[in-house]
Amino acid sequence: MEHKLYVNSSPHIKDVAKTSNIMFDVIIALIPATIISIYLYSYMAAIIIGVTVLSSVLFETLYNLLTKQKQTVGDFSAVVTGLLLALTLPPAASSIWLGVVGSLVAIIIVKMIFGGLGQNIFNPAIAARVFLTVAFSSQMTTWLSPGADAISTATPLALASNGIVTSNIDLFLGNIPGCIGETSALALLLGFGWLLIRKVIKLDITLTYLLTVVVFSFIIGADPLFHLLSGGLLLGAIFMATDYSTSPMTRNGKIIFGFGLGIITMSIRVYGNLPEGVSFAILFMNVLVPLIDRYTIPKSFGGVKKKNA
Amino acid sequence: MKQYKYFRGGVKAPHYKNTENVETTVMPIPDLIEIPMLHHIGAPCDPLVKPGDEILVGQKIGDSDKYISAPVHTGVSGKVKKINNVLFPNGETVKSVLIESDKKQELHPSIKPPVINSKKDFIAAIRESGLVGLGGAGFPTHVKLNPPEGIKIEYLLINGAECEPYITSDYRESIENSWNIISGINIIMEYLEIDKVIIGIEDNKPKAVEVLTGIAKTSDKIDIMPLKSKYPQGAEKMLIYSLTGKVVPAGKLPLDVGVIVLNVASVAFIASYIKTGMPLTKKRITIDGGAVKQPANIEVFVGTYIKEAISFAGGFKEVPKKILMGGPMMGVSQFNLDSPILKQNNAILAFNEKQSKMPEQTACIKCGRCVSVCPMNLMPVYFDIFNESGDADQLSKLDVLSCIECGSCSFVCPASRYLVQSIRNGKLLVRARGSK
Ligand code: SF4
Ligand code: SF4
């Protein structure tokens, strides 16, 4: 009775965590923001989101087919990228093709060429958004006030640089002009709660980032709540800055990362001539992640402090 | 007494303690047993018998003159059939003595209670008993008890934290053999002049906590500390930290910080050896896993074949696809069912097809889960990367040798990376390079 036995290194059991489950949880966490955006901008938002997600998935599938690699779309990470990218586009018709171009940049150039999930240096959605902002600046800044009679207008941050104030309640609920998914803080916080409950992310990065912004605002005498609630900060701090492959791995690293994000975001907002600092801050800090990781390697239990690896 | 400290990291492993209420049954003497010459960490023994020799119960059949080693004895009487070779799962070939039992079980004349007049005698007696760490690692106990010059032993810690899933042999030991545990503790306290003893046991075993609390009440030098049940609570360094707050420095032994850790079964064995002089030839083990018909706790002779132990316990209900010596987190998967049971085995698990297959590896997503669960505060993800690139320098800088191979990192990895496998290989790379 000789049976073939499996022989492998321990451990011989695994808990249920799987990459696709994690990505699925992120998608669930983005559902409130998605619903609100469709409510605010009706079918236009739905079309933009649908097209962007589909093209992200398609590009990843095609890339894998053409380069004869194992198909990876099953891990849902392309859906997450597409969804995040769509939520950072303005709610105008031009965003439909912006979404396709953005997906191409995000999936092919930023993610797959670097080696795919886990290997990319930049957050694909953010990098694509920055690319679009630079290349198609007029289309990327066509803001509409939510509602049936959507009219072209400026975002609260742009207004603020002209001294016009928007109410924080409107900011919280999303009743303000902005990108499709950046507008409702409430929806984003619901998603944050889900990510925390499901242990997809920890508090470290998001909390340090937001706290730094609040403290910075206090110091310069600005309204902290206004800065917290406007300009994609929450979307960035909750969903983009916490992206695994483009953020540090240790706790100390995460705190340094969040702090840097806060400082850069506020510096760009206050001293730069751009009203929007979140995307640039995240891209800039993404570059520093390998360095941060290297200098925050912890001391092993019972070991001596190690110099950089 | 409340838990003193909580170690970082760790995972919530499932319990699967299906056998916790199954009383131990004694397996009858098998016709053939095969006793390997290596059950421990250290040098293998040389056989002291040759084919054709008649041997008696308790007779020493293997020994070594190396310090880190422990002699091997037979639990059955009979005739030596052959000096064989067994292939260990790590690829090592070890000599073994194949014995045909005559079922007479006549005692060898050397078996009498050891005469002990000093600490030295005591440690020598423990060496003669063949005792090795029964919790799984199999480190020779006499080495553990012998402190280097100038070190005073402050604590004796009793490890009852059986944190591996499935295994209940120590739990059954605590309940069925509590009297020997008390006398073992007292004997060690007396001979080694230790006056602080702490029994650590996980709080998910209330019955054992109750029994051991009873033991602790017999002396004001003995305390019991229920521990939060978290894997790997029973790992030596984690246990020491939880019970005393002491941190064993990398590359050192518990003795270096004045601590001795013994497993409940080891302590109970010491008591019975001092009373009878009968060396370590039997072992209580848990038989479980999806492929076995009747999960059980059984007492077997060291050297019994796995397949016979399982068939005594009730046999298979499904085709076994993986055979483990030890628990699922740290156990060793066997090549076949003909491996003999070793002294430090505490469980044999037979898994069915579904339990046996580990998921395919996918790309690491840099989620950091492996980092946050590592009880040794290491960065398993980098071990994987640098093992792949063969970078021994980085592996050594990142302290790969400190890894206790607890498996927590692989257990949680959403990409199912074979981290422990990479780590083992990485350790070989570092050792081959010959630096520390
Ligand atoms: S747990 Fe797995 S996927 Fe996550 S960082 Fe570690 S090795 Fe990579
Ligand atoms: S690196 Fe080693 S000690 Fe850390 S979790 Fe993995 S196996 Fe355990």
Beta bridge partners of A88: none
In this prediction, residue A142 carries a pLDDT of 65
3-state SS string over A138-174? Answer: HHHCCEECCCCCCCEECCHHHHHCCCCCCCHHHHHHC
DSSP-assigned letter for residue A105: I
Residue B421 domain-assigned (yes or no): yes
The reply to whether B141 and B247 lie within a common domain is: yes
Query: CB contact, 8 Å: B347 with chain A?
Result: no
Tokens of B298: 């059984």
In this prediction, residue A308 carries a pLDDT of 47
Closest B-chain CA to A307: B397
Ligand approaching nearest to the C-alpha of B417? 1
Query: CB contact, 8 Å: B409 with chain A?
Result: no
Which residue's CA is the closest to the ligand 1 atom numbered 5?
Answer: B366
Residue B376 CA to ligand 2 centre (angstroms): 7
Q: What percent of chain B has pLDDT over 90?
A: 77
Which residue's CA is the closest to the ligand 1 atom numbered 3?
Answer: B364
d(CA B406, CA B410): 9
d(CA B230, CA B14): 10
Tokens of B82: 């052959």
CATH of the domain at B223: 3.40.50.11540
Residue B369 CA to ligand 1 centre (angstroms): 6
Tokens of A266: 């506020």
In this prediction, residue B16 carries a pLDDT of 92
The reply to whether B271 and B373 lie within a common domain is: no
Domain end position, chosen among B226, B245, B276: B276
For ligand 2, whether the C-beta of B224 sits within 6 Å is no
C-beta neighbour count of B275 within 10 angstroms: 13
For ligand 1, whether the C-beta of B11 sits within 6 Å is no
Query: CB contact, 8 Å: B123 with chain A?
Result: no
Tokens of A205: 């990065």
Beta bridge partners of B430: none
Residues of B in contact with A249 (CB under 8 A): 366, 368, 371, 379, 381
Domain end position, chosen among B250, B276, B302: B276
The number of distinct structural domains making up chain B is 2
For ligand 1, whether the C-beta of B370 sits within 6 Å is yes
Residue of A6, A10, A18, A251 to mutate when probing chain B, most B C-beta within 10 A = A10
Q: Splitting chain B (436 residues) into consecutive groups of 10 residues, what average pLDDT does each group show?
A: 82 91 93 92 92 95 93 95 89 92 92 92 95 86 87 91 92 91 93 92 88 86 90 93 93 90 94 95 94 94 95 92 94 90 93 91 93 95 95 93 95 95 94 72
Residue A267 CA to ligand 2 centre (angstroms): 41
Query: CB contact, 8 Å: B333 with chain A?
Result: yes
Q: Does B7 contact A301 at a Cβ distance shorter than 8 Å?
A: yes
For ligand 1, whether the C-beta of B250 sits within 6 Å is no
Contact in structure between A55 and A150 (CB atoms under 8 Å): no
In ligand 1, which atom is closest to the CA atom of B416?
A: 2
The reply to whether B391 and B257 lie within a common domain is: no
The reply to whether B383 and B237 lie within a common domain is: no
Residue B71 domain-assigned (yes or no): no
A·B CB contacts under 8 A: 164
Residue A29 CA to ligand 2 centre (angstroms): 31
Which residue's CA is the closest to the ligand 1 atom numbered 2?
Answer: B413
B95 backbone dihedrals φ, ψ, rounded to 5° = -65, 150
Q: Splitting chain A (309 residues) into consecutive groups of 10 residues, what average pLDDT does each group show?
A: 77 91 96 91 91 96 93 92 93 89 95 91 93 85 55 63 61 65 84 96 96 94 85 90 94 96 92 78 95 91 64
Residue B294 domain-assigned (yes or no): no
Which residue's CA is the closest to the ligand 2 atom numbered 2?
Answer: B403
In this prediction, residue A1 carries a pLDDT of 47
Query: CB contact, 8 Å: B280 with chain A?
Result: no
d(CA B63, CA B70): 7
Residue B210 domain-assigned (yes or no): yes
Residue A191's Cβ-side half-sphere holds a number of Cα atoms within 13 Å equal to 30
The reply to whether B136 and B249 lie within a common domain is: yes
* Full residue range of the structural domain in which residue B379 is found: 369-433
Residue B375's nearest CA partner among B230, B263, B260 is: B230
Residue B64 domain-assigned (yes or no): no
Residue B182 domain-assigned (yes or no): yes
Contact in structure between A155 and A230 (CB atoms under 8 Å): yes
Angle CA(A298)–CA(A302)–CA(A308) in degrees, nearest 5? 30
The reply to whether B244 and B390 lie within a common domain is: no
Residue B335 CA to ligand 1 centre (angstroms): 29
Residue by residue, DSSP assigns B152-182 as ---EEEEE----SSS--HHHHHHHHSHHHHH
Residue B297's nearest CA partner among B279, B314, B281 is: B314
Residue A118 CA to ligand 2 centre (angstroms): 21
Residues of B in contact with A301 (CB under 8 A): 7-8, 237, 241, 247, 375-377, 402
In the block, residue with structure tokens 């051991």: B212
d(CA B385, CA B380): 9
In this prediction, residue A221 carries a pLDDT of 87
Residue B321 domain-assigned (yes or no): no
The reply to whether B262 and B128 lie within a common domain is: yes
Residue B257 domain-assigned (yes or no): yes
**Domains (ranges, CATH) in chain A?**
20-296 (1.10.3430)
Domain end position, chosen among B276, B302, B326: B276
In this prediction, residue A23 carries a pLDDT of 95
In this prediction, residue A179 carries a pLDDT of 77
In ligand 1, which atom is closest to the CA atom of B369?
A: 1
